[in-house]
């Protein structure tokens, strides 16, 4: 195997497979993008439209436009933005609905911090692409809403009814537990606020980014186990023995990005050792020389090869190698996992995208959808764009 990624291959994959696939899911009758493509490659035009899905698609096309400058990509982002603005935002109580019916009417009116963070992420990216001031104003409104309604003295509250009365956090709880707070939500608030700060320079956003990094340092990161804890009670006490390999490799490079944006040497000195440790541990625990395992619960490794986990592993290892070129094993890991994606995870059928899941040997798990409310171009599209940009910057 080669130990370097062919960036031309990555770019061709983005241009010729991912972008055309998501373009064709545009709904010109009711707005936004269709929310379901089955394993049989049949699109359901009357399926639920997840607001997270439509935020992530808007983010994807905004960033693709910033990378390639193709006006059709900006128009695709505008289409997503219009749906977000006109349908996903609750005109009565504020915030973002969890999901909509196919025609844009509210379906699941749950308000979730995770969901609102992705709307901020999309709006900030769309602002960068379009310079649409209304998009930035809406992003800042959502930031203020999260900070006024979704925060307690310890961290971020997560799940609410439409009127922001707290409710059980079913949507972000897994593995048989009901978590009041999660690493996953906190990580993506950090990600969204980083983009928002890049675009706005708002001092309050910067303050919250620093606060979140300190929370990760003190409550989320477990130095004795070299991992992040995943599911917590209200005081961020871990409630399950779980090592999420995918989230740790994703967190490592996203936290590094936040540190770069903040440009605070003292903070960097405190937090950077954490991201190094997270990468070092998953390299030992999850990478098998070809692909990347899912997670480890109670000492038992889940060997499923999940689409988004493979994508984040490529970026995370590439980022770790860029920051320390002596770690050539990380560069090789990024290259080998990309080859596994190319050969096994990317669906070779015409008109498809990536399989949701393959086994350790690369055989697709039949029946899993190609698109649903969580299956989007955010992880794999971002993987491609990150590597292309990083390659351009190093030239």
Judge whether 1 lies within some domain: no
Domain harbouring 44, CATH code: 1.50.10.10
Q: What is the pLDDT of residue 395?
A: 61
What sign does the CA torsion over 61, 113, 160, 145 have? negative
Judge whether 55 lies within some domain: yes
What sign does the CA torsion over 225, 226, 228, 234 have? positive
Judge whether 359 lies within some domain: yes
Judge whether 2 lies within some domain: no
Judge whether 34 lies within some domain: yes
Q: How far apart are CA 149 and CA 152, in angstroms?
A: 9
Count of Cβ atoms closer than 10 Å to residue 21 Cβ: 18
- Residues of the domain holding 384: 7-394
Q: Is residue 181 within 8 Å of residue 234, measured between CB atoms?
A: yes
Q: What is the pLDDT of residue 3?
A: 61
3-state SS, 122-171, equals HHHHHHHHHCCHHHHHHHHHHHHHHHHHCECCCCECCEECCCCCECCCHH
Q: Which of 61, 54, 170 is nearest to 101 (CA)?
A: 54
Q: What is the pLDDT of residue 80?
A: 98
User: How many Cα neighbours within 13 Å face the side chain of 239?
Assistant: 17
Q: Is 71 exposed, middle or buried (0-12, 13-18, 19+ CB in 10 A)?
A: exposed
Mapping DSSP to helix (H, G, I), strand (E, B) and coil, where does residue 108 land?
strand
Entry pTM: 0.97
The count of structural domains within the chain is 1
Judge whether 263 lies within some domain: yes
| Tens-digit pLDDT string for the chain (395 aa) | 346 789 999 999 999 999 999 999 999 999 999 999 999 999 999 999 999 999 999 999 999 999 999 999 999 999 999 999 999 999 999 999 999 999 999 999 999 999 999 999 999 999 999 999 999 999 999 999 999 999 999 999 999 999 999 999 999 999 999 999 999 999 999 999 999 999 999 999 999 999 999 999 999 999 999 999 999 999 999 999 999 999 999 999 999 999 999 999 999 999 999 999 999 999 999 999 999 999 999 999 999 999 999 999 999 999 999 999 999 999 999 999 999 999 999 999 999 999 999 999 999 999 999 999 999 999 999 999 999 999 988 76
Q: What is the pLDDT of residue 394?
A: 72
- Strands (DSSP E) along the chain, which ranges? 49-50, 99-100, 106-108, 111-112, 159-160, 181-182, 221-222, 227-228, 231-232, 242-244, 295-297, 300-302, 305-306, 357-358
């Amino acid at each position: 195997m080669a130990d370097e990624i062919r960036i031309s291959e990555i770019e061709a994959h983005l241009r010729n497979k991912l972008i055309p696939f998501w373009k064709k899911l545009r709904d010109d009758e009711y707005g936004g993008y269709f929310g379901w493509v089955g394993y049989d490659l049949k699109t359901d035009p009357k399926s639920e439209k997840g607001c997270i899905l439509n935020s992530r698609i808007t983010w994807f096309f905004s960033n693709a436009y910033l990378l390639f400058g193709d006006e059709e990509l900006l128009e695709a982002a505008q289409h997503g933005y219009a749906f977000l603005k006109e349908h996903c935002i609750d005109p009565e109580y504020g915030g973002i609905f969890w999901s909509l019916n196919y025609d844009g009417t509210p379906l699941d009116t749950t308000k979730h911090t995770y969901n609102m963070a992705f709307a901020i992420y999309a709006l900030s990216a769309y602002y960068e692409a379009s310079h649409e001031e209304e998009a930035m104003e809406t992003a800042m409104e959502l930031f203020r809403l999260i900070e006024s309604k979704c925060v307690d003295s310890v961290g971020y509250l997560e799940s609410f009814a439409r009127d922001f009365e707290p409710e059980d956090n079913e949507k972000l709880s897994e593995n048989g537990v009901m978590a009041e707070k999660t690493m996953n939500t906190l990580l993506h608030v950090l990600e969204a606020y980083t983009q928002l700060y890049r675009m706005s320079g708002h001092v309050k956003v910067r303050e919250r980014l620093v606060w979140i990094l300190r929370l990760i340092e003190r409550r989320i990161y477990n130095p004795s186990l070299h991992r992040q804890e995943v599911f917590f009670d209200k005081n961020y006490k871990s409630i399950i023995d779980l090592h999420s390999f995918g989230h740790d490799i994703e967190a490592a490079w996203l936290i590094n990005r936040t540190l770069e944006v903040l440009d605070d040497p003292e903070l960097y000195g405190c937090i950077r050792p954490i991201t190094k440790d997270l990468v070092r541990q998953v390299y030992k625990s999850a990478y098998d020389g070809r692909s990347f395992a899912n997670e480890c619960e109670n000492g038992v490794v889940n060997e499923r090869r999940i689409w988004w986990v493979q994508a984040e592993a490529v970026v995370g290892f590439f980022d770790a190698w860029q920051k320390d070129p002596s770690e050539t094993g990380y560069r090789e890991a990024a290259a080998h996992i990309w080859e596994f994606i190319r050969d096994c995870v990317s669906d070779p059928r015409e008109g498809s995208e990536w399989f949701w899941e393959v086994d350790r040997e690369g055989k697709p798990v039949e029946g899993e959808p190609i698109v649903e409310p969580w299956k989007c171009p955010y992880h794999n599209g971002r993987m491609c764009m990150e590597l292309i940009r990083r390659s351009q910057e190093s030239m």
